Amino acid sequence: MSLINVTTPEKNVRELEIGVEKAVFDKACNAAYKKNVAKMTIPGFRKGKAPRSIVEKMYGTGVFYEEALNDIIPDAYEEAVKASGIADIVSRPEFDVKSIDDNGVVLLAKVYVKPEVVVKDYRGLEIEAADTAVTDAEMDAEIQKLRERNSREIAVTDRAAKMGDTVVFDFDGTVDGVAFDGGKSENYSLKLGSGQFIPGFEEQIVGKSIDEAFDVNVTFPEDYHAAELAGKAAVFACKLHEIKDIELPALDDEFVKDISEFDTLDAYKADLRVKMEERKKTAADNAAKETLIAKVVEKMEADIPEPMIETEVENQVRDFDMRLRQQGMNLKTYFQYTGLDLDGMREQFKPMAERQVKARLALEGVVKAEGITASDEEIAKEYEDIAKGYNMTVEDVKKYVDDTSVANDITVRKAVDFLVENAVSVEKKEEASEAASDNAETV
Protein backbone atom coordinates (compact mmCIF):
# COMPACT_ATOMS: atom_id res chain seq x y z
CA MET A 1 0.00 0.00 0.00
CA SER A 2 1.34 3.47 -0.85
CA LEU A 3 0.41 7.13 -0.89
CA ILE A 4 0.39 8.26 -4.52
CA ASN A 5 -0.61 11.91 -4.16
CA VAL A 6 -2.25 14.52 -1.93
CA THR A 7 -4.33 17.34 -3.40
CA THR A 8 -6.42 20.22 -2.10
CA PRO A 9 -9.59 20.21 -4.21
CA GLU A 10 -11.21 22.90 -2.02
CA LYS A 11 -10.52 24.93 1.11
CA ASN A 12 -9.92 22.86 4.25
CA VAL A 13 -10.14 19.64 2.22
CA ARG A 14 -7.38 17.14 1.44
CA GLU A 15 -7.77 14.27 -0.99
CA LEU A 16 -5.41 11.33 -0.61
CA GLU A 17 -4.78 9.07 -3.60
CA ILE A 18 -3.88 5.65 -2.24
CA GLY A 19 -2.50 2.68 -4.14
CA VAL A 20 -3.11 -0.93 -3.10
CA GLU A 21 -0.98 -3.63 -4.75
CA LYS A 22 -2.80 -6.25 -6.84
CA ALA A 23 -1.48 -9.08 -4.64
CA VAL A 24 -2.93 -7.45 -1.52
CA PHE A 25 -6.29 -6.91 -3.17
CA ASP A 26 -6.38 -10.44 -4.60
CA LYS A 27 -5.67 -11.84 -1.16
CA ALA A 28 -8.60 -9.85 0.29
CA CYS A 29 -10.88 -11.02 -2.54
CA ASN A 30 -9.86 -14.62 -1.92
CA ALA A 31 -10.65 -14.25 1.78
CA ALA A 32 -14.08 -12.84 0.87
CA TYR A 33 -14.62 -15.78 -1.52
CA LYS A 34 -13.80 -18.35 1.18
CA LYS A 35 -16.08 -16.61 3.62
CA ASN A 36 -19.09 -16.45 1.30
CA VAL A 37 -18.84 -19.36 -1.16
CA ALA A 38 -20.76 -21.75 1.11
CA LYS A 39 -23.78 -19.43 0.87
CA MET A 40 -23.80 -19.42 -2.94
CA THR A 41 -25.68 -21.86 -5.16
CA ILE A 42 -23.75 -22.80 -8.29
CA PRO A 43 -25.30 -25.38 -10.67
CA GLY A 44 -23.19 -28.54 -10.87
CA PHE A 45 -21.30 -27.85 -7.63
CA ARG A 46 -22.02 -28.70 -4.02
CA LYS A 47 -22.30 -25.63 -1.77
CA GLY A 48 -18.89 -24.33 -0.85
CA LYS A 49 -17.07 -26.33 -3.52
CA ALA A 50 -17.37 -24.06 -6.58
CA PRO A 51 -14.03 -22.51 -7.63
CA ARG A 52 -13.69 -18.75 -7.31
CA SER A 53 -13.38 -18.31 -11.08
CA ILE A 54 -16.72 -20.09 -11.63
CA VAL A 55 -18.44 -17.99 -8.93
CA GLU A 56 -17.11 -14.78 -10.47
CA LYS A 57 -18.22 -15.90 -13.92
CA MET A 58 -21.76 -16.44 -12.66
CA TYR A 59 -22.12 -13.52 -10.26
CA GLY A 60 -19.76 -11.05 -11.92
CA THR A 61 -16.08 -10.23 -11.59
CA GLY A 62 -16.67 -7.75 -8.79
CA VAL A 63 -18.82 -10.00 -6.60
CA PHE A 64 -16.21 -9.95 -3.82
CA TYR A 65 -14.88 -6.43 -4.38
CA GLU A 66 -16.98 -4.61 -1.79
CA GLU A 67 -16.09 -6.93 1.06
CA ALA A 68 -12.44 -7.00 0.02
CA LEU A 69 -12.30 -3.19 -0.10
CA ASN A 70 -13.92 -2.92 3.33
CA ASP A 71 -11.19 -5.21 4.60
CA ILE A 72 -8.20 -3.36 3.16
CA ILE A 73 -9.35 0.27 3.40
CA PRO A 74 -8.75 0.86 7.15
CA ASP A 75 -5.06 -0.14 7.05
CA ALA A 76 -4.49 1.52 3.68
CA TYR A 77 -5.99 4.79 4.91
CA GLU A 78 -4.06 4.73 8.19
CA GLU A 79 -0.75 4.19 6.39
CA ALA A 80 -1.54 6.91 3.86
CA VAL A 81 -2.38 9.47 6.55
CA LYS A 82 0.91 8.77 8.33
CA ALA A 83 2.82 9.09 5.08
CA SER A 84 1.03 12.32 4.14
CA GLY A 85 1.90 14.11 7.37
CA ILE A 86 -1.57 15.70 7.40
CA ALA A 87 -2.40 16.93 10.88
CA ASP A 88 -5.69 17.99 12.42
CA ILE A 89 -8.09 15.87 10.38
CA VAL A 90 -11.56 16.78 11.69
CA SER A 91 -13.87 14.43 9.78
CA ARG A 92 -14.30 10.83 8.87
CA PRO A 93 -12.90 10.03 5.43
CA GLU A 94 -15.15 9.76 2.40
CA PHE A 95 -13.87 6.97 0.13
CA ASP A 96 -14.18 6.49 -3.60
CA VAL A 97 -12.64 3.86 -5.88
CA LYS A 98 -10.72 5.50 -8.70
CA SER A 99 -9.72 2.29 -10.44
CA ILE A 100 -9.42 -1.50 -10.14
CA ASP A 101 -7.29 -3.15 -12.79
CA ASP A 102 -4.29 -5.41 -13.34
CA ASN A 103 -2.10 -2.91 -11.45
CA GLY A 104 -4.18 -3.13 -8.31
CA VAL A 105 -6.57 -0.64 -6.71
CA VAL A 106 -6.43 3.14 -6.50
CA LEU A 107 -8.56 4.72 -3.77
CA LEU A 108 -9.47 8.33 -3.10
CA ALA A 109 -9.97 9.42 0.50
CA LYS A 110 -11.46 12.88 1.09
CA VAL A 111 -11.00 14.44 4.53
CA TYR A 112 -11.60 17.83 6.11
CA VAL A 113 -8.86 19.51 8.13
CA LYS A 114 -8.87 22.30 10.70
CA PRO A 115 -9.11 25.71 9.06
CA GLU A 116 -6.48 28.40 9.23
CA VAL A 117 -7.36 30.64 12.17
CA VAL A 118 -6.50 34.29 12.64
CA VAL A 119 -7.33 36.04 15.91
CA LYS A 120 -6.58 39.74 16.23
CA ASP A 121 -6.72 42.25 19.08
CA TYR A 122 -7.17 39.64 21.79
CA ARG A 123 -4.97 41.46 24.30
CA GLY A 124 -6.57 44.07 26.51
CA LEU A 125 -10.15 42.84 26.10
CA GLU A 126 -12.58 44.56 28.46
CA ILE A 127 -14.44 42.70 31.19
CA GLU A 128 -16.79 44.25 33.70
CA ALA A 129 -15.59 44.31 37.29
CA ALA A 130 -17.68 41.96 39.41
CA ASP A 131 -18.83 42.73 42.93
CA THR A 132 -18.11 39.60 44.96
CA ALA A 133 -19.07 41.08 48.34
CA VAL A 134 -21.92 39.26 50.07
CA THR A 135 -24.75 41.52 51.24
CA ASP A 136 -26.70 41.05 54.45
CA ALA A 137 -29.79 40.36 52.36
CA GLU A 138 -27.98 37.51 50.54
CA MET A 139 -26.82 36.13 53.89
CA ASP A 140 -30.35 36.25 55.26
CA ALA A 141 -31.74 34.50 52.17
CA GLU A 142 -29.13 31.72 52.44
CA ILE A 143 -29.84 31.18 56.12
CA GLN A 144 -33.57 31.18 55.41
CA LYS A 145 -33.04 28.37 52.86
CA LEU A 146 -31.10 26.46 55.51
CA ARG A 147 -33.93 26.84 58.00
CA GLU A 148 -36.46 25.71 55.40
CA ARG A 149 -34.39 22.60 54.64
CA ASN A 150 -34.47 21.77 58.36
CA SER A 151 -38.12 22.67 58.90
CA ARG A 152 -40.92 20.32 59.88
CA GLU A 153 -44.57 20.07 58.94
CA ILE A 154 -47.12 20.63 61.69
CA ALA A 155 -50.86 20.05 61.59
CA VAL A 156 -53.01 23.20 61.70
CA THR A 157 -56.42 22.92 63.37
CA ASP A 158 -57.21 26.42 64.64
CA ARG A 159 -57.38 28.46 61.43
CA ALA A 160 -58.33 28.42 57.75
CA ALA A 161 -55.92 27.60 54.92
CA LYS A 162 -53.57 30.30 53.65
CA MET A 163 -51.01 30.58 50.87
CA GLY A 164 -47.90 28.55 51.66
CA ASP A 165 -49.86 25.85 53.50
CA THR A 166 -49.95 22.26 52.32
CA VAL A 167 -53.54 21.02 52.14
CA VAL A 168 -54.95 17.50 51.77
CA PHE A 169 -58.32 17.46 50.00
CA ASP A 170 -60.67 15.59 47.65
CA PHE A 171 -61.78 17.02 44.33
CA ASP A 172 -64.21 15.92 41.63
CA GLY A 173 -64.30 18.02 38.46
CA THR A 174 -67.00 18.34 35.80
CA VAL A 175 -67.48 20.32 32.60
CA ASP A 176 -71.14 21.03 31.79
CA GLY A 177 -72.01 18.50 34.51
CA VAL A 178 -69.96 15.70 32.92
CA ALA A 179 -66.90 14.20 34.62
CA PHE A 180 -63.63 14.03 32.66
CA ASP A 181 -60.44 11.98 32.82
CA GLY A 182 -58.00 13.09 35.50
CA GLY A 183 -60.55 15.38 37.15
CA LYS A 184 -61.02 13.37 40.32
CA SER A 185 -58.77 12.48 43.25
CA GLU A 186 -58.96 11.73 46.96
CA ASN A 187 -56.56 12.88 49.72
CA TYR A 188 -54.56 14.91 47.24
CA SER A 189 -51.65 16.85 48.78
CA LEU A 190 -51.09 20.34 47.38
CA LYS A 191 -48.88 23.24 48.46
CA LEU A 192 -50.91 26.40 47.97
CA GLY A 193 -49.07 28.89 45.81
CA SER A 194 -47.00 26.23 44.03
CA GLY A 195 -48.84 26.82 40.75
CA GLN A 196 -49.38 23.09 40.37
CA PHE A 197 -53.04 23.50 39.40
CA ILE A 198 -54.56 25.68 36.67
CA PRO A 199 -54.77 29.44 37.39
CA GLY A 200 -57.39 30.41 39.94
CA PHE A 201 -57.73 26.97 41.55
CA GLU A 202 -55.37 27.26 44.51
CA GLU A 203 -56.52 30.76 45.43
CA GLN A 204 -60.07 29.47 46.00
CA ILE A 205 -58.87 27.01 48.67
CA VAL A 206 -57.44 29.88 50.72
CA GLY A 207 -59.80 30.70 53.59
CA LYS A 208 -61.38 27.23 53.71
CA SER A 209 -61.39 25.20 56.93
CA ILE A 210 -60.94 21.53 57.77
CA ASP A 211 -63.98 19.38 56.84
CA GLU A 212 -65.43 22.21 54.76
CA ALA A 213 -67.01 21.30 51.42
CA PHE A 214 -66.89 23.89 48.64
CA ASP A 215 -66.81 24.37 44.88
CA VAL A 216 -63.89 25.72 42.90
CA ASN A 217 -64.88 27.41 39.63
CA VAL A 218 -62.16 27.76 36.99
CA THR A 219 -61.69 27.97 33.24
CA PHE A 220 -59.09 25.82 31.53
CA PRO A 221 -56.48 27.83 29.57
CA GLU A 222 -56.96 28.07 25.79
CA ASP A 223 -53.60 26.29 25.30
CA TYR A 224 -54.37 23.49 27.80
CA HIS A 225 -52.65 20.22 26.84
CA ALA A 226 -55.96 18.30 26.74
CA ALA A 227 -57.64 19.84 23.69
CA GLU A 228 -61.14 18.68 24.73
CA LEU A 229 -60.87 20.82 27.90
CA ALA A 230 -59.09 23.88 26.49
CA GLY A 231 -61.05 27.07 27.15
CA LYS A 232 -63.86 25.19 28.97
CA ALA A 233 -65.38 26.28 32.30
CA ALA A 234 -65.18 23.63 35.02
CA VAL A 235 -66.53 23.09 38.52
CA PHE A 236 -64.57 21.09 41.10
CA ALA A 237 -66.47 19.84 44.12
CA CYS A 238 -63.90 19.82 46.94
CA LYS A 239 -63.63 18.78 50.58
CA LEU A 240 -60.72 19.85 52.79
CA HIS A 241 -59.28 17.25 55.19
CA GLU A 242 -55.97 18.59 56.47
CA ILE A 243 -53.99 21.81 56.68
CA LYS A 244 -50.26 21.65 57.29
CA ASP A 245 -47.87 24.51 57.97
CA ILE A 246 -44.09 24.67 58.02
CA GLU A 247 -42.40 25.31 61.35
CA LEU A 248 -38.93 26.77 61.00
CA PRO A 249 -36.26 26.04 63.61
CA ALA A 250 -35.20 28.91 65.88
CA LEU A 251 -32.10 30.67 64.61
CA ASP A 252 -29.79 30.30 67.58
CA ASP A 253 -26.63 28.57 68.80
CA GLU A 254 -28.44 25.27 69.39
CA PHE A 255 -29.64 25.16 65.80
CA VAL A 256 -26.10 25.83 64.53
CA LYS A 257 -24.70 23.04 66.71
CA ASP A 258 -27.23 20.62 65.19
CA ILE A 259 -26.43 21.36 61.57
CA SER A 260 -22.71 22.26 61.56
CA GLU A 261 -19.37 21.91 63.34
CA PHE A 262 -19.72 25.38 64.87
CA ASP A 263 -20.84 26.18 68.41
CA THR A 264 -22.21 29.68 67.89
CA LEU A 265 -24.41 31.41 65.35
CA ASP A 266 -21.84 34.19 64.88
CA ALA A 267 -19.06 31.71 64.04
CA TYR A 268 -21.33 29.92 61.57
CA LYS A 269 -22.31 33.18 59.88
CA ALA A 270 -18.68 34.26 59.54
CA ASP A 271 -17.76 30.97 57.87
CA LEU A 272 -20.86 31.10 55.66
CA ARG A 273 -19.98 34.60 54.47
CA VAL A 274 -16.47 33.49 53.47
CA LYS A 275 -17.83 30.49 51.54
CA MET A 276 -20.48 32.59 49.80
CA GLU A 277 -17.84 35.13 48.78
CA GLU A 278 -15.69 32.33 47.39
CA ARG A 279 -18.67 31.01 45.40
CA LYS A 280 -19.43 34.47 44.03
CA LYS A 281 -15.78 34.97 43.07
CA THR A 282 -15.66 31.59 41.33
CA ALA A 283 -18.89 32.37 39.48
CA ALA A 284 -17.56 35.82 38.52
CA ASP A 285 -14.26 34.34 37.30
CA ASN A 286 -16.09 31.75 35.19
CA ALA A 287 -18.41 34.41 33.77
CA ALA A 288 -15.40 36.60 32.90
CA LYS A 289 -13.72 33.70 31.10
CA GLU A 290 -16.88 32.96 29.11
CA THR A 291 -17.14 36.64 28.18
CA LEU A 292 -13.52 36.78 27.03
CA ILE A 293 -13.86 33.59 25.00
CA ALA A 294 -16.98 34.96 23.31
CA LYS A 295 -15.11 38.17 22.44
CA VAL A 296 -12.17 36.23 21.01
CA VAL A 297 -14.57 34.17 18.89
CA GLU A 298 -16.02 37.41 17.52
CA LYS A 299 -12.52 38.50 16.50
CA MET A 300 -11.66 35.14 14.92
CA GLU A 301 -11.35 34.76 11.17
CA ALA A 302 -11.84 31.17 10.01
CA ASP A 303 -13.84 29.19 7.45
CA ILE A 304 -15.10 26.34 9.59
CA PRO A 305 -15.99 23.19 7.62
CA GLU A 306 -19.44 21.85 8.45
CA PRO A 307 -18.15 18.26 9.07
CA MET A 308 -16.13 19.66 11.98
CA ILE A 309 -19.34 20.72 13.72
CA GLU A 310 -21.05 17.46 12.77
CA THR A 311 -18.20 15.51 14.35
CA GLU A 312 -18.58 17.50 17.57
CA VAL A 313 -22.33 16.81 17.55
CA GLU A 314 -21.64 13.07 17.30
CA ASN A 315 -19.15 13.35 20.17
CA GLN A 316 -21.81 15.00 22.32
CA VAL A 317 -24.37 12.34 21.42
CA ARG A 318 -21.89 9.61 22.46
CA ASP A 319 -21.10 11.42 25.71
CA PHE A 320 -24.80 11.78 26.47
CA ASP A 321 -25.38 8.10 25.74
CA MET A 322 -22.49 7.18 28.05
CA ARG A 323 -23.95 9.26 30.89
CA LEU A 324 -27.33 7.61 30.36
CA ARG A 325 -25.75 4.16 30.54
CA GLN A 326 -24.03 5.09 33.80
CA GLN A 327 -27.53 5.77 35.16
CA GLY A 328 -28.83 2.42 33.93
CA MET A 329 -30.54 3.91 30.86
CA ASN A 330 -29.81 4.20 27.12
CA LEU A 331 -30.73 6.38 24.16
CA LYS A 332 -33.52 4.08 22.98
CA THR A 333 -35.31 4.29 26.34
CA TYR A 334 -34.65 8.03 26.56
CA PHE A 335 -36.25 8.55 23.15
CA GLN A 336 -39.30 6.53 24.23
CA TYR A 337 -39.77 8.75 27.30
CA THR A 338 -39.17 12.08 25.54
CA GLY A 339 -40.62 11.45 22.08
CA LEU A 340 -37.32 12.66 20.62
CA ASP A 341 -35.30 10.82 17.98
CA LEU A 342 -31.62 10.77 17.02
CA ASP A 343 -31.98 13.48 14.37
CA GLY A 344 -33.89 15.68 16.82
CA MET A 345 -31.18 15.22 19.44
CA ARG A 346 -28.52 16.16 16.89
CA GLU A 347 -30.41 19.37 16.10
CA GLN A 348 -30.61 20.18 19.81
CA PHE A 349 -26.88 19.64 20.27
CA LYS A 350 -25.81 21.52 17.13
CA PRO A 351 -25.82 25.12 18.52
CA MET A 352 -23.73 24.08 21.52
CA ALA A 353 -21.40 22.05 19.30
CA GLU A 354 -20.89 25.06 17.03
CA ARG A 355 -20.07 27.30 20.01
CA GLN A 356 -17.58 24.78 21.35
CA VAL A 357 -15.86 24.31 17.99
CA LYS A 358 -15.54 28.07 17.50
CA ALA A 359 -14.27 28.59 21.05
CA ARG A 360 -11.69 25.84 20.71
CA LEU A 361 -10.43 27.16 17.38
CA ALA A 362 -10.20 30.72 18.69
CA LEU A 363 -8.26 29.65 21.77
CA GLU A 364 -5.97 27.47 19.65
CA GLY A 365 -5.36 30.59 17.57
CA VAL A 366 -4.21 32.40 20.72
CA VAL A 367 -2.02 29.41 21.64
CA LYS A 368 -0.31 29.54 18.26
CA ALA A 369 0.08 33.31 18.23
CA GLU A 370 1.57 33.43 21.73
CA GLY A 371 3.64 30.27 21.45
CA ILE A 372 1.97 28.73 24.49
CA THR A 373 3.24 25.24 25.34
CA ALA A 374 2.68 22.48 27.89
CA SER A 375 5.63 21.21 29.93
CA ASP A 376 6.33 17.54 30.60
CA GLU A 377 5.45 18.14 34.26
CA GLU A 378 2.08 19.66 33.30
CA ILE A 379 1.31 16.74 30.98
CA ALA A 380 2.20 14.20 33.70
CA LYS A 381 -0.04 15.99 36.22
CA GLU A 382 -2.89 16.12 33.69
CA TYR A 383 -2.68 12.34 33.23
CA GLU A 384 -2.81 11.91 37.01
CA ASP A 385 -5.85 14.18 37.29
CA ILE A 386 -7.68 12.32 34.51
CA ALA A 387 -6.85 8.97 36.12
CA LYS A 388 -8.14 10.15 39.49
CA GLY A 389 -11.33 11.55 37.95
CA TYR A 390 -12.17 8.27 36.20
CA ASN A 391 -10.78 6.00 38.93
CA MET A 392 -8.24 4.53 36.50
CA THR A 393 -4.49 4.08 36.41
CA VAL A 394 -2.35 6.49 34.41
CA GLU A 395 -1.27 3.56 32.21
CA ASP A 396 -4.89 2.77 31.37
CA VAL A 397 -5.64 6.42 30.61
CA LYS A 398 -2.74 6.49 28.14
CA LYS A 399 -4.40 3.68 26.18
CA TYR A 400 -7.21 6.08 25.28
CA VAL A 401 -5.56 9.52 25.36
CA ASP A 402 -2.24 10.49 23.80
CA ASP A 403 0.26 13.17 24.80
CA THR A 404 -0.77 15.46 21.95
CA SER A 405 -4.42 15.57 23.06
CA VAL A 406 -3.44 16.16 26.67
CA ALA A 407 -1.00 18.92 25.71
CA ASN A 408 -3.66 20.58 23.53
CA ASP A 409 -6.13 20.67 26.42
CA ILE A 410 -3.50 22.19 28.72
CA THR A 411 -2.48 24.89 26.25
CA VAL A 412 -6.10 25.85 25.57
CA ARG A 413 -6.69 26.36 29.30
CA LYS A 414 -3.48 28.38 29.50
CA ALA A 415 -4.76 30.50 26.63
CA VAL A 416 -7.87 31.32 28.69
CA ASP A 417 -5.64 32.28 31.63
CA PHE A 418 -3.60 34.45 29.27
CA LEU A 419 -6.73 36.30 28.16
CA VAL A 420 -7.74 36.91 31.79
CA GLU A 421 -4.26 38.14 32.75
CA ASN A 422 -4.22 40.56 29.83
CA ALA A 423 -7.83 41.74 30.13
CA VAL A 424 -8.82 45.23 31.28
CA SER A 425 -11.34 45.49 34.10
CA VAL A 426 -13.95 48.22 33.59
CA GLU A 427 -16.81 49.52 35.69
CA LYS A 428 -20.20 47.94 35.09
CA LYS A 429 -22.20 49.91 32.55
CA GLU A 430 -25.22 50.15 34.84
CA GLU A 431 -23.13 51.56 37.66
CA ALA A 432 -21.37 53.96 35.32
CA SER A 433 -24.72 55.17 34.03
CA GLU A 434 -26.07 55.64 37.57
CA ALA A 435 -22.93 57.53 38.59
CA ALA A 436 -23.28 59.85 35.62
CA SER A 437 -26.92 60.45 36.50
CA ASP A 438 -26.03 61.24 40.12
CA ASN A 439 -23.33 63.67 38.99
CA ALA A 440 -25.75 65.39 36.67
CA GLU A 441 -28.25 65.82 39.50
CA THR A 442 -25.52 67.22 41.75
CA VAL A 443 -24.56 69.76 39.14
Span 243-277, pLDDT tens digits = 999 999 999 999 999 999 999 999 999 999 999 99
Say what the pLDDT of residue 252 is. 95
Range of 199's domain? Answer: 152-247
- Model confidence at 75: pLDDT above 50: yes
**Cα separation values, 297 from 117, 127, 367, Å:** 10, 15, 14
Say what the pLDDT of residue 442 is. 39
Say what the pLDDT of residue 438 is. 54
Say what the pLDDT of residue 441 is. 47
Say what the pLDDT of residue 226 is. 87
Give the residue from 196, 230, 247 where a domain finishes: 247
Say what the pLDDT of residue 117 is. 94
Say what the pLDDT of residue 46 is. 87
Percent of the chain at pLDDT > 90 equals: 85
- Model confidence at 379: pLDDT above 80: yes
Q: Flag whether 267 is in a domain.
A: no
Q: Flag whether 226 is in a domain.
A: yes
Lowest mean pLDDT among 140-154, 187-201, 420-434: 420-434
Q: How far apart are CA 119 and CA 363, in angstroms?
A: 9
pTM of the model: 0.72
Q: Flag whether 404 is in a domain.
A: yes
Amino acid code (one letter) for 367: V
Q: How far apart are CA 284 and CA 265, in angstroms?
A: 28
For residues 32 and 109, state if they share a domain: yes
The mean of the pLDDT values for the chain is: 92
For residues 106 and 183, state if they share a domain: no
Mean pLDDT of 50-78: 94
Give the residue from 247, 264, 297 where a domain finishes: 247
For residues 291 and 219, state if they share a domain: no
Q: How far apart are CA 202 and CA 182, in angstroms?
A: 17
For residues 422 and 281, state if they share a domain: yes
- Model confidence at 434: pLDDT above 70: no
Residues with Cβ within 8 Å of 441's Cβ and at least 6 positions away in sequence, in order, are none
3-state secondary structure of 237: strand
Q: Flag whether 271 is in a domain.
A: no
Q: Flag whether 143 is in a domain.
A: no
Mean pLDDT of 135-148: 94
Helix axes 52-59, 22-36, angle to 10 degrees: 90
Q: How far apart are CA 197 and CA 178, in angstroms?
A: 20
| Runs of H (alpha helix) within 210-330 | 253-259, 265-298, 306-326
Say what the pLDDT of residue 430 is. 59
Say what the pLDDT of residue 44 is. 87
Say what the pLDDT of residue 338 is. 87
Q: Flag whether 416 is in a domain.
A: yes
Domain holding 109: CATH number? 3.30.70.1050
pLDDT band at 294 (very low <50, low <70, confident <90, very high): very high
For residues 183 and 56, state if they share a domain: no
Domain holding 205: CATH number? 3.10.50.40
Say what the pLDDT of residue 440 is. 46
For residues 48 and 107, state if they share a domain: yes
For residues 208 and 335, state if they share a domain: no
Mean pLDDT of 64-87: 94
Mean pLDDT of 7-27: 95
Give the residue from 247, 268, 290 where a domain finishes: 247
For residues 237 and 290, state if they share a domain: no
For residue range 86-108, what is the model confidence (pLDDT) as tens digits? Answer: 988 999 999 999 999 999 999 99
Cβ-contact 59, 23 below 8 angstroms: no
Phi and psi, residue 59, nearest 5°:
-100, -10
- Model confidence at 431: pLDDT above 80: no
Mean pLDDT of 204-225: 95
Q: Flag whether 338 is in a domain.
A: yes
- Model confidence at 212: pLDDT above 90: yes
For residues 301 and 415, state if they share a domain: yes
Domain count, the chain: 3
Phi and psi, residue 113, nearest 5°:
-120, 165
Say what the pLDDT of residue 443 is. 33
For residues 336 and 413, state if they share a domain: yes
Domain holding 352: CATH number? 1.10.3120.10
For residue range 298-356, what is the model confidence (pLDDT) as tens digits? Answer: 999 999 999 999 999 999 999 999 899 988 899 999 998 888 999 999 999 999 999 99
Q: Flag whether 127 is in a domain.
A: no
pLDDT band at 386 (very low <50, low <70, confident <90, very high): very high
For residues 360 and 220, state if they share a domain: no
Amino acid code (one letter) for 166: T
Residue 149 CB neighbour total at 10 angstroms = 9
For residues 239 and 322, state if they share a domain: no
Mean pLDDT of 43-70: 92
